[in-house]
Structure 1
Amino acid sequence: MKYKNIVFDMGNVLVKYDSDAAARQFTDDKKIIREVGLIVFKSIEWEMLDGGLITEEKALKKMLSRFETEEAREIGRKSFETWDKVCMTPNEEMGEVVQQLKDKGYNVYILSNASVRLPKMYKEVVPKADLFDGVFYSAPEKLLKPQKEIYNRFYEKFNLDPSTCLFIDDLEDNINASKETGMDGYCFADGDVNRLKEFLGL
């Protein structure tokens, strides 16, 4: 390959992500699980948390105000407080990919939208976390994919030439944005690790 640096998104790439797992800890009521998913994990506040634009306290207060019942509100609160413990699990197959890339001499990086909790605990869920040459999360930078600025900030931070990088993400919009800044991309939306390994020459 012409690339020297392989850059990974985290959610649904390096880790398997299931937001409903947070509410399932506390209820099997599908209506409440769906409500928590919409009000917490698909909210504008959630996106603002990834962008470092709001505190967790303010975000939670706004989220909780939209629940219809006290039961759902309490489950929403507990889901928000514990999501990072249950919603993400390591994708061990991708850990093998990271190991093989390092064995072949590539540099590997993480570039991911993530709130302020992730820099503190990502090693608990990212497979082969200690092998990464650099980790770049959105909230501390107050930027979000697919903003072009986040890619440029990433290149600057690690002194990378984008033409030597390949970005692996599960969202086509993020791949398109990376290409506009000079970094090739591979869309991992299908989750097919074998196809990815073939593409990478592994």
Structure 2
Amino acid sequence: MKYKNIVFDMGNVLVKYDSDAAARQFTDDEKIIREVRLIIFNSIEWEMLDGGLITEEKALQRMLDRFETDEAREVGRKSFETWNKVCMQPNNEMGEVVRALKDKGHNVYILSNASARLPKMYKEVIPNADLFDGVFYSAPEKLLKPQREIYVRFFEKFNLDPSTCLFIDDLEDNITASKAAGMYGYCYADGDINKLKKFLELN
């Protein structure tokens, strides 16, 4: 396999991600769970947090102002405060892919949109986290995929030639952008680990 450096996204690649798990800790009311998903996790503030453009305190206050009831607002607050403890579960099969790549002499990196909370605790949820040669999260850089600039900054930070890199992400827009920046991409939207292993020549 011609790519020396394999670059992984985090959500729905290295970890299994379910935003509804946050609200389900506190309610079984599907209406409230949906409201939390839309107001918290699908919000512009969530994107701004990933881009390092807003504080958690300010983001949370804006989000809470949009809830219809006090009950939903309280579930929303608790969900926001605890989401990183319950929404992400290690994808252990992908952890074994990472180990196999390292055993074959590849370098492995993380390039992911993530808020300032993630760099402090990613090793708790990413399998074989200590094997990575570099970790790059969006919030500290104040950049976001699929901006071209985030890929350029990633290459600069780790002194990488993009033509030697393969990017694995679950979103086609991010893969398209990585290719435009000179890094070939593999879209893992189907979650087919065996297909990915075959592509990586790990079978």
Sort the TM-score into its range (normalised by shorter chain). Answer: over 0.9
Alpha-carbon distance, 1:2 to partner? 1.2
Q: Say whether residues 1:144 and 2:144 are aligned partners.
A: yes
Instruction: Please give the alpha-carbon distance, in whole angstroms, between the structure 2 residues aligned to 1:157 and 1:53.
Output: 21
Alpha-carbon distance, 1:147 to partner? 0.1
For the aligned residues, what is the CA RMSD? Answer: 0.2
Give the secondary-structure state (helix, strand or coil) at the position aligned to 2:2. Answer: coil
Q: Say whether residues 1:79 and 2:79 are aligned partners.
A: yes
Instruction: Please give the alpha-carbon distance, in whole angstroms, between the structure 2 residues aligned to 1:55 and 1:16.
Output: 26
Instruction: Please give the alpha-carbon distance, in whole angstroms, between the structure 2 residues aligned to 1:72 and 1:153.
Output: 40
Instruction: Please give the alpha-carbon distance, in whole angstroms, between the structure 2 residues aligned to 1:99 and 1:139.
Output: 27
Alignment of 1:79-158 (within 5 A): 79-158=79-158
Give the secondary-structure state (helix, strand or coil) at the position aligned to 1:151. Answer: helix
Give the secondary-structure state (helix, strand or coil) at the position aligned to 1:2. Answer: coil
User: What is residue 7 of structure 2 aligned with on the other side?
Assistant: 7
Q: Say whether residues 1:26 and 2:26 are aligned partners.
A: yes
1:153-192 C-alpha deviation (Å, 9 max, x unpaired)? 0000000000000000000000000000100000000000
Alpha-carbon distance, 1:152 to partner? 0.2
Instruction: Please give the alpha-carbon distance, in whole angstroms, between the structure 2 residues aligned to 1:81 and 1:164.
Output: 39
Instruction: Please give the alpha-carbon distance, in whole angstroms, between the structure 1 residues aligned to 2:10 and 2:48.
Output: 18
Alpha-carbon distance, 1:69 to partner? 0.2
User: What is residue 52 of structure 1 aligned with on the other side?
Assistant: 52
Give the secondary-structure state (helix, strand or coil) at the position aligned to 1:10. Answer: coil
Q: How many residues of Structure 1 are paired with residues of Structure 2 in the alignment? A: 202
Q: Which consecutive residues of structure 1, in runs of 5 or more, have no partner in the other structure?
A: none
Instruction: Please give the alpha-carbon distance, in whole angstroms, between the structure 1 residues aligned to 2:117 and 2:11.
Output: 14
Instruction: Please give the alpha-carbon distance, in whole angstroms, between the structure 2 residues aligned to 1:12 and 1:3.
Output: 22
1:108-152 C-alpha deviation (Å, 9 max, x unpaired)? 000000000000000000010000000000000000000000000
1:61-108 C-alpha deviation (Å, 9 max, x unpaired)? 000000000000000000000000000000000000000000000000
Percent identity for Structure 1 against Structure 2: 85
- The one-letter code sitting in structure 2 at the alignment partner of 1:163 is S
Instruction: Please give the alpha-carbon distance, in whole angstroms, between the structure 2 residues aligned to 1:3 and 1:93.
Output: 21
Q: Which consecutive residues of structure 2, in runs of 5 or more, have no partner in the other structure?
A: none
Deviation beyond 2 Å, 4+ runs, structure 1: none
TM-score (structure 2 length as normaliser): 0.99
